[in-house]
Amino acid sequence: MKSNATRHILSISGGKDSAALAVYLRNKIPSIEYVFCDTGEELDETYAYLARVEAYLGSTIKVLKQEGRDFRHCLIIYNNYLPSPQMRWCTKHLKIIPFEKYVGDDHVINYIGIRADEDRDGYISRKRNITARYPFKDDGIKKEDVFRILDEAGLGLPEYYKWRSRSGCYFCFFQQKIEWVGLLENHPELFKRAMAYEKTDPESGVRFTWGDNESLEELSRPERVAQIKAEHKEKIERRPNKAKGLLIDIFAEMADEEDENNRACFICSL
């Protein structure tokens, strides 16, 4: 049934920006609803961070997922074609549709954590009854403010930022090679699970891999891992005027530098 009152919804991804936005808006919009679109393929660190955010907010973060339509189910529907930046069916089925179902026909203001220092706009749904708002952009909140907000709230950052630049599925195809290495070293069992999704069509020989031109089996070979690490180190050292100290800064910079087509969707990664 359609509600006449405008609903205020913040979709929390498990990443730093949406968590900071939740803290920022907590006392400004008392009726705000918090949701998390759970793909069922998230990292344990994400759930742990969400639990901390929830405790801080003193409100439940409602978990949204479509029963019986998990990643494996969708993969079958898509003939085993793994999702990719060009074919983001995972975001559509595992994040956006559950969100839109939750919203229904109600008029909703959807708060999005894009910061003032980011040169992009974003909208996660095309439904006309959903209006996007960007409080960080409106109020000039930048990356350093996000860190401060989370610090002051006692939340800090999600653990995965030590080896990965964003929230979302452990197998997310937006990962850089060094992040796949991070997955291999921090969650070898999840790396294996991601690897198991990669297939070669026995008839055509076509390979279904998460990344371009390289399977995870190839990427995980010790000499390749050493090469990726060396290249990453070199990349960091070539950044003379950029953040060098914290890995989170370096990862965040790299994510900020990605072009629009190669960026994870807001609902997954903010």
**Site of interaction with ligand SF4 (CB under 6 A):** 39, 83, 88, 90-91, 94-95, 168-169, 172, 174, 264-265, 268
CB nearer ligand SF4, residue 149 or residue 268: 268
CA 66 – CA 168 distance, rounded (Å): 17
Min separation Cβ 168 and ligand SF4, Å? 3
Smallest gap from Cβ 83 to ligand SF4, in A, equals 5
Smallest distance, ligand SF4 to C-beta of residue 265, A: 6
Q: Write the DSSP assignment of 144-198 as a string of letters.
A: HHHHHHHHHTT----GGGGT-S--SBTT-TT--HHHHHHHHHH-HHHHHHHHHH-
Q: What single-letter amino acid sits at 76?
A: I
Nearer to ligand SF4, 35 or 264 (CB): 264
Q: Compute the distance between CA of residue 114 and CA of residue 88 in angstroms, rounded to an integer.
A: 20
Q: Tell me the closest approach of the beta carbon of residue 40 to ligand SF4, in angstroms.
A: 10
Strand duo 33-37 + 7-11: pairing: parallel
Structure tokens at 111: 């708060």
One-letter amino acid at 142 equals K
Separation of alpha carbons 144 and 147, rounded Å: 5
Residue nearer to ligand SF4 on the CB measure, 32 or 35: 35
Q: How far apart are the C-alpha atoms of 268 and 270, rounded to whole Å? A: 6
Residue 141 or 216: the one with the smaller Cβ distance to ligand SF4 is 216
Minimal distance, residue 171 CB to ligand SF4, in Å? 6
